[in-house]
């Protein structure tokens, strides 16, 4: 789905005056509005790919709003429909909510409430269509289903992975815990020329030092006490495919020498054997931290780094691609809902704000676990507190000055948490954009320096 496509608001009401009043309000706010006096007239224009929100009266001739709601939820359960209720229709509105309506508004419709509800509904629809589009792109570009997101950093990562899939070179993938280094390694294998061969993943941190040689090289029967049968090691098992070495910095330095020799000679000899076996494999190594630092800290040998670092990829942490957070969260919610046979609960404003400002030290892995807990109804355990926006130290200040300093620091912290996006900052602070701009002007927070929306 093209993100450039203009979203639409479909208004349906047999009250012509109300229809025109709401349409005028929305058009003044820049919305693309289409109106219908009856639900049956709007029906042919509603598809599962409709990129927008339906605002519909409950009681209308020919076809009621509840009948339209039933039709639309069967067509697409994720299509947001906002019901308009008149006096005495609260029971019907409650029934509509149970039937899948996004929300309901009472007449006379309050413009502020309408715009806020509509904004959230449009955002939710956009996310739903983006997740659906990503799923549908598997056949065309499988990377989009593996490396999910639309942030510039994510797009760049996909491009880099795509450029390396067909190259028969070893490489190093760097990234924090939980960023998805294993996902990238698997994508390099599955989308490359070695996809028909084995993919062998080894967590170097999980291997006892005394067993490393046998685990990688394998052994012949009788090679040592207890070796009562032939064992094929990781090198040999990955022959013809890809060997993924996760947490390479945890591998003993003494074994790194032997690993380097195997990589240079492309052959392996089982323990207890004199026969060398030729190897045809690609090695993808994953590390946490900067390579120079790991070498300096004696966690990696410099010569091994030179040999492996023919090509490299760096996976950005989740906090560096905040535009992806909610999309990824919905993606993982969809997967968890399918796994547990549940429906995805609706995201409220509080959760959206929490997702946006959380630092995600556990990265994508933490986000995935949070989404699963959300779907199955468990309390959400946040790994660490959000960015600190505590009151600054104030010496010899009056109350007004103290409150002003706190408010300024609070706004600046919210702007930083949203990477300068004013729309997201206003939503996080739960204030209209105009009010936020006035506060920024008051505290001399320059709009030109941080407003990335315009």
- 279-299 pLDDT, tens digit per residue, is 999 999 999 989 999 999 999
- Give the whole-angstrom CA distance, residue 235 versus residue 249: 18
Burial 376-397 (b: 16+ CB within 10 A, else e): eeeeeeeeeeeeebeeeeeeee
- Give the whole-angstrom CA distance, residue 427 versus residue 423: 6
402 has pLDDT over 50: yes
* Terminal-residue alpha carbon distance, the chain: 23
- pLDDT at residue 212, as a whole number: 92
- Give the whole-angstrom CA distance, residue 115 versus residue 348: 16
- State the fold for domain 149-314: Rossmann fold (3.40.50)
The whole-model pTM stands at 0.60
- pLDDT at residue 339, as a whole number: 87
- pLDDT at residue 391, as a whole number: 39
Q: Do domains 149-314 and 399-450 have the same CATH topology?
A: no
Stated as kind and residue range, the H or E segment containing 243 is: strand 242-246
**CATH homologous superfamily of 8-136:** Response regulator (3.40.50.2300)
Q: Where are the domains of the chain?
A: 8-136, 149-314, 319-376, 399-450
Structure tokens at 187: 């994508």
- Give the whole-angstrom CA distance, residue 57 versus residue 106: 10
**CATH homologous superfamily of 399-450:** Homeodomain-like (1.10.10.60)
At 54, the pLDDT band (50, 70, 90 cuts) reads: very high
- Residue range 127-177, pLDDT digits in tens: 778 777 666 554 444 677 788 888 899 999 999 999 999 998 999 999 999
> Is residue 251 within 8 Å of residue 204, measured between CB atoms?
yes
Q: Higher pLDDT residue, 289 or 431?
A: 289
**Mean pLDDT score, 436-447:** 81
- State the fold for domain 319-376: Helicase, Ruva Protein; domain 3 (1.10.8)
């Amino acid at each position: 789905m093209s993100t450039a496509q203009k979203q639409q608001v479909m208004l349906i009401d047999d009250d012509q005056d109300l229809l025109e009043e709401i349409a005028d309000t929305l058009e003044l706010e820049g919305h693309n509005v289409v109106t219908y006096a009856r639900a049956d007239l709007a029906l042919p224009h509603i598809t599962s790919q409709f990129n927008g929100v339906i605002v519909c009266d409950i009681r209308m001739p020919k076809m009621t709003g509840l009948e339209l709601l039933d039709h639309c939820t069967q067509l697409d359960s994720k299509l947001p429909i906002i019901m308009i209720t008149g006096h005495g229709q609260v029971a019907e509105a409650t029934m509509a909510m149970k039937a899948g309506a996004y929300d309901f508004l009472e007449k006379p419709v309050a413009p502020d409430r309408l715009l806020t509800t509509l904004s959230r509904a449009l955002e939710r629809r956009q996310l739903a269509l983006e997740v659906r589009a990503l799923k549908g792109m598997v056949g065309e570009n499988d990377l989009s289903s593996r490396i999910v997101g639309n942030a510039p950093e994510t797009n760049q990562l996909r491009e880099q992975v795509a450029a390396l899939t067909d190259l028969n070179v070893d490489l190093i993938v760097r990234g924090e815990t939980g960023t998805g280094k294993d996902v990238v390694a698997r994508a390099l294998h599955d989308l490359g020329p070695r996809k028909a061969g084995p993919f062998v993943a080894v967590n170097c941190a999980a291997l006892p030092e005394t067993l490393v040689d046998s685990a990688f090289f394998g052994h012949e029967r009788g090679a040592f006490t207890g070796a009562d049968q032939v064992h094929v090691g990781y090198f040999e098992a990955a022959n013809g495919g890809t060997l993924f070495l996760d947490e390479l910095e945890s591998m003993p330095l003494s074994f790194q020498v032997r690993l380097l020799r195997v990589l240079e000679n492309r052959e392996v000899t089982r323990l207890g054997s004199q026969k060398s076996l030729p190897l045809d494999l690609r090695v993808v190594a994953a590390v946490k931290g900067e390579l120079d630092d790991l070498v300096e800290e004696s966690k990696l040998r410099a010569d091994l780094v030179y040999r492996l670092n023919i090509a490299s990829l760096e996976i950005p942490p989740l906090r560096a691609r905040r535009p992806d957070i909610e999309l990824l969260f919905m993606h993982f919610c969809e997967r968890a809902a399918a796994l547990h046979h549940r429906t995805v609960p609706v995201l409220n404003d509080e959760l959206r704000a929490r997702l946006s400002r959380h630092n995600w030290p556990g990265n994508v892995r933490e986000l995935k676990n949070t989404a699963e807990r959300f779907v199955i109804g468990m309390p959400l355990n946040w790994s660490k507190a959000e960015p600190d926006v505590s009151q600054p130290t104030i010496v010899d200040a009056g109350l007004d000055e103290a409150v002003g300093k706190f408010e300024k620091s609070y706004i600046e912290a919210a702007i930083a948490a949203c990477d300068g996006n004013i729309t997201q900052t206003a939503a996080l602070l739960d204030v209209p954009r105009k009010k936020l701009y006035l506060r920024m002007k008051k505290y001399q927070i320059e709009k030109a320096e941080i407003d990335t929306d315009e």
